[in-house]
Amino acid sequence: MSAECFINIIAKKICLYCRLYLMRIKHTVYILLFLFLTGLPAKIFSQGRNLPLNLSLFYPVSINNSIEDNANINAGLFGSHINNVRGASVNGLFSVNEGDMNGVQVNGLYSETRNRLQGIQVSGVFNSVANGGYGIMLSGLGNLCFDDLTGIQIAGITNMCFENAMGIQTAGLYNLTGKDISILQLAAAGNVTGKNMKGAQLSLFFNLAGRENRGYQMSLINMARNQHGAQLGLINISENNGGFQLGILNIVRNMQKGATLGLFYIYKKTLVQLMMSGGSLAYGTLGVRFKTNNIYTMIDFGAPVVNSKSDKSVLMTYRVGYSFDLKLLNLNSDIGFTNISSESNQVEDKPSKNQYGLSLRLGLEKHIWEKLGVFANFGAFRKADSYKQPKFKVNLIFEGGIVVL
């Protein structure tokens, strides 16, 4: 055997021994790392440690071997479970803090802090804070806080704070505050405050202040037990009104000390009366009258329309008036606006399927039984032949009917 062959054999054996040695070291490192992360040597460590960095696959496969441990930086591939975090917590799916979250908590699905939040929670689905705090809660589905929260809740579906909320709640569907809300509730469907609302409630369908509204409500339906702010909507309802209501229908069930402006008004003394009649404008009409003391508003629908050139025609009239009590009977006086819709044009040279008119009425009404009365009206109707370049003509009004009191 030559010297060159001998040297090559020795070199190959040395390389083989080095590879085997490195593989043993690598396996040993993996085993030690696994034992460290799984917490098998937990007897070496005490509970309640303050860790500058906590890494986790999912608890207890993590550096922290106890949920009493604290961390400045908490990071989990899937999730983590730790006590207090002062800094940042970032996890692929979820994280649970037994104590406080002071800093930023970001998770793919779910964030839970079982004590207080002082910072920001961000998750793809849901956030939960048990004992309130200060900061921002941002989630794709919902935010839940069981105690007082000062800050902002933003969710794709719903925000719920079962105590007081000082700040802003913005949700794609629904906001709830168990007690008081200050600043703003904004939702697509509705907002609910269990007690007092100081700020603004804005939604498409409904707002509710369970005890008192001292701010601004705007929705289709606004409700407050004690109304000392402003309500703007189609329907405004309050037990006691000491503020301002603007809507189509305003309802005050008990005490009125504020201002109400709208087409219809219902107070505790308001009479809601059904009226049926016929006359020179329509062969038959059916309407509802809202009468509070001597002031009344009413709306009625009539068909077919007298003197219409169409087989199918209908009118709608809104009226506001005052009733004089003459002991034996009542003298009613009102003004009104009427819209007339017909199947075809009523004038040849212009679009006239829709016409309108202004009316002035005087009428006599007699209650013949406790719940039934009769009435007769006469007046003038100034009719426009079209909404476009209208020409007016004055017609006399004669009508009579019954009223169910």
pLDDT, tens digit (0-9, with 9 covering 90-100), for 244-286:
999 999 999 999 999 999 999 999 889 999 999 999 999 999 9
pLDDT at 10: 63
pLDDT (mean) for 88-110:
96
φ and ψ at residue 114, rounded to 5 degrees: -90, 0
Element (H, E) at 17: helix 3-38
Residue 41: per-residue pLDDT = 42
Does the structure show a pLDDT above 80 at 195? yes
Specify the higher pLDDT residue, 356 or 8: 356
For position 44, what pLDDT does the model report?
A: 45
**Is residue 227 over pLDDT 90?**
yes
43-to-32, 33, 63, 78 alpha-carbon distances in Å: 15, 16, 14, 26
**How many whole angstroms separate alpha carbon 249 and alpha carbon 336?**
17
362-387 tens-digit pLDDT: 999 999 988 899 999 999 999 999 99
d(CA 169, CA 139): 12
Which tokens go with 302? 């009539």
CA distance 131 to 348: 74
Coil, strand or helix at 303 = coil
Q: For residues 90 and 256, give the distance between their C-alpha atoms in angstroms, rounded to a whole number.
A: 55
Structure tokens at 131: 């004992």
For the cut 60, the answer to whether the pLDDT of residue 39 exceeds it is: no
Joined tokens for residue 358? 């202004």
Q: How far apart are CA 84 and CA 235, in angstroms?
A: 48
Across the range 218-247, mean pLDDT stands at 97
| pLDDT confidence band for 7 (50 / 70 / 90) | low
pLDDT at 28 over 70: no
66-91 burial, b if ≥16 CB within 10 A, otherwise e?
bbebbbbbbbbeebbbbbbbbebbbb
* Closest-CA residue to 245 (of 209, 208, 218, 207): 218
Residues pairing with 244 in the sheet: 230, 259
Residue 4 — very low, low, confident or very high, per pLDDT cuts 50/70/90? low
The pTM for the full model equals 0.78
Give the mean model confidence (pLDDT) for residues 37-55: 65
pLDDT (average), residues 135-148? 97
Exposure string over 18-45, b if 16+ CB within 10 A, otherwise e: eeeeeeeeeeeeeeeeeebbebeeeeee
| 387, burial (CB in 10 Å: exposed 0-12, middle 13-18, buried 19+) | middle
Question: 5-14, 18-27, 244-253, 254-263: which has the minimum mean pLDDT?
Answer: 18-27
Q: In the chain, helix, strand, coil percent, each to 5?
A: 10, 60, 30
Angstrom distance (rounded) from CA 101 to CA 84: 6
pLDDT at 2 over 70: no
What are the start-end ranges of the H helices in 107-174? none
pLDDT given at position 45: 45
What are the residue ranges of helices labelled H in 228-281?
none
Token output for 225: 């037990």
What domains can be seen in the chain, in order of their start residue?
A: 46-266 (no CATH), 270-404 (2.40.160.20)
**pLDDT tier at 12, thresholds 50, 70, 90:** low
Task: Give the model's confidence band at 25: pLDDT under 50 very low, under 70 low, under 90 confident, else very high.
Answer: low
55-62 CB contacts, 8 Å cutoff, 24+ apart = 56/80, 56/81, 56/91, 61/37, 62/37
Would the pLDDT of 170 be above 50? yes
Q: Given a cut of 90, is residue 161 above it in pLDDT?
A: yes
Q: Judge whether 74 and 59 are in contact, CB under 8 Å.
A: no
Looking at residue 268, its pLDDT comes to: 86
